[in-house]
């Protein structure tokens, strides 16, 4: 659906990203609050037509419980506005707010949601996400965990004004940094699985595994030269969680499992089938953190 920006009024800023800003806005006619991502771009009419076609497809098809819903968009020669359902927070902000590790049971639900969403994108739409990281995994007050920011950025890559797009260095897999054959870079969905592994370690320990790097270059050279990060032995995690993370972070991507295999792992199956009150947990940790900030 095309959106008329005149029907939107800005409420506040939700965050600044590498290729745009996200605002909380009200859709005045329906009195609903939305998240609106505004990206600057430069494009020809020809490209515009193609982008509009692609956005139409994306917006129609991604009605899936573990994917942040796109409600509409607006496009002109300099900007693209993407209207999304408003979520309460993302795991990057949440970690900064609560300043403590996210419990394994919550990470189980996050893993179930993220892997299910990534598998759906691949199977139904042939899409590789390319930017899996804590800030692209969102949570709402009802405890639903959903993935965002794929496809759309893929569609827009060529017409992005300052295209730093390729994804975030910190979560990039070794094979994307250093392809086996640089003349024919080939990587697949397993690049997203690596990014999920790094995300899980960061959230489970409240520490990004390649810390103290001075630059993206520094991070990327450590990713390709060092052994894969692991969940630290001195912390308490289940053996199933440890082995799931280890599988995600197999350095040689041809040996790394794909979604089908991951979805058979005990950690995945158990997280899918065990009920856990994510909403209750979210309410408790955020209200405790907010109380602490007020004091
Ligand atoms: P990045 O993901 O690189 O941090 P983005 O521009 O994609 O940058 O997003 C910026 C911030 O906006 C994110 O950290 C996230 O917390 C917030 N955000 C994005 N989409 C939504 C949404 N649908 N609901 C609530 N907050 C959102
Ligand atoms: Mg994002």
User: Can you tell me the distance from the alpha carbon of 131 to that of 153, in angstroms, rounded to the nearest whole number?
Assistant: 9
Question: What is the model's pLDDT at position 178?
Answer: 85
Question: What is the model's pLDDT at position 55?
Answer: 73
Question: What is the model's pLDDT at position 33?
Answer: 96
Q: Which atom of ligand 1 is nearest to the CA of 87?
A: 24
pTM for the structure as a whole = 0.92
Contact assessment for residue 130 and residue 187, using Cβ atoms and an 8 Å cutoff: no
Query: If you search the block for the tokens 């007050």, which residue do you land on?
Result: 141
Question: What is the model's pLDDT at position 39?
Answer: 81
C-beta of 149 in contact with ligand 1 (< 6 A): yes
Contact assessment for residue 139 and residue 282, using Cβ atoms and an 8 Å cutoff: yes
**Per-residue model confidence as pLDDT tens for the chain (295 residues):** 667 888 999 999 999 987 789 999 999 999 999 999 888 776 666 766 767 766 776 676 667 899 998 888 888 778 888 899 999 999 999 999 999 999 999 999 999 999 999 999 888 877 788 889 999 999 999 999 999 887 555 555 544 443 344 568 899 999 988 877 777 666 788 999 999 999 999 999 999 999 988 899 999 999 999 999 999 999 999 999 999 999 999 999 999 999 999 999 999 999 999 999 999 999 999 999 889 888 8
Q: Kindly report the protein residue whose alpha carbon is nearest to atom 1 of ligand 1.
A: 17
Question: What is the model's pLDDT at position 151?
Answer: 54
Cβ-based neighbour number of residue 45 at 10 Å = 7
User: Can you tell me the distance from the alpha carbon of 144 to that of 68, in angstroms, rounded to the nearest whole number?
Assistant: 10
Catalytic pick among 54, 56, 79, 131:
131
State the distance from the centre of ligand 1 to the C-alpha of 133, rounded, in angstroms. Answer: 11
| Environment class of 12 (CB within 10 Å of its CB; exposed 0-12, middle 13-18, buried 19+) | exposed
Is residue 131 part of the annotated active site? The answer reads: yes
* Residue of 198, 193, 201, 203 whose CA lies nearest to 262: 193
Question: What is the model's pLDDT at position 162?
Answer: 39
C-beta of 106 in contact with ligand 1 (< 6 A): no
Structure tokens at 58: 């994306």
Whether the ipTM is more than 0.90: the answer is yes
C-beta of 36 in contact with ligand 1 (< 6 A): no
């Amino acid at each position: 659906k095309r959106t008329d920006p005149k029907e939107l009024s800005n409420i506040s800023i939700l965050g600044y990203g590498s290729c745009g800003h996200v605002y909380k806005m009200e859709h005045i006619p329906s009195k609903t609050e939305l998240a609106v991502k505004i990206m600057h771009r430069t494009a020809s009419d020809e490209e515009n037509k193609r982008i509009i076609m692609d956005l139409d497809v994306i917006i129609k098809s991604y009605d899936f419980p573990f994917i942040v819903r796109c409600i509409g968009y607006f496009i002109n020669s300099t900007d693209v506005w993407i209207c999304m359902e408003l979520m309460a927070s993302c795991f990057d902000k949440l970690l900064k707010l609560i300043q403590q590790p996210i419990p394994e049971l919550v990470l189980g639900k996050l893993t179930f949601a993220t892997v299910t969403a990534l598998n759906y994108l691949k199977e139904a739409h042939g899409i590789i996400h390319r930017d899996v990281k804590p800030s692209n995994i969102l949570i709402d007050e009802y405890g639903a965990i959903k993935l965002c920011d794929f496809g759309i950025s893929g569609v827009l890559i060529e017409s992005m004004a300052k295209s730093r797009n390729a994804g975030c260095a910190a979560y990039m897999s070794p094979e994307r940094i250093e392809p086996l054959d640089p003349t024919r870079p080939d990587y697949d969905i397993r690049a997203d699985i690596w990014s999920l592994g790094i995300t899980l370690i960061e959230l489970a320990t409240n520490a990004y595994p390649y810390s103290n790097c001075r630059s993206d270059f520094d991070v990327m050279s450590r990713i390709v030269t060092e052994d894969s990060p692991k969940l630290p032995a001195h912390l308490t995690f289940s053996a199933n969680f440890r082995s799931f993370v280890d599988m995600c972070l197999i350095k040689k991507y041809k040996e790394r499992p794909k979604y089908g295999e991951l979805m058979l792992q005990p950690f995945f199956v158990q997280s899918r089938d065990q009920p856990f009150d994510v909403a209750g947990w979210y309410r408790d940790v955020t209200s405790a953190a907010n109380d602490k900030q007020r004091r």
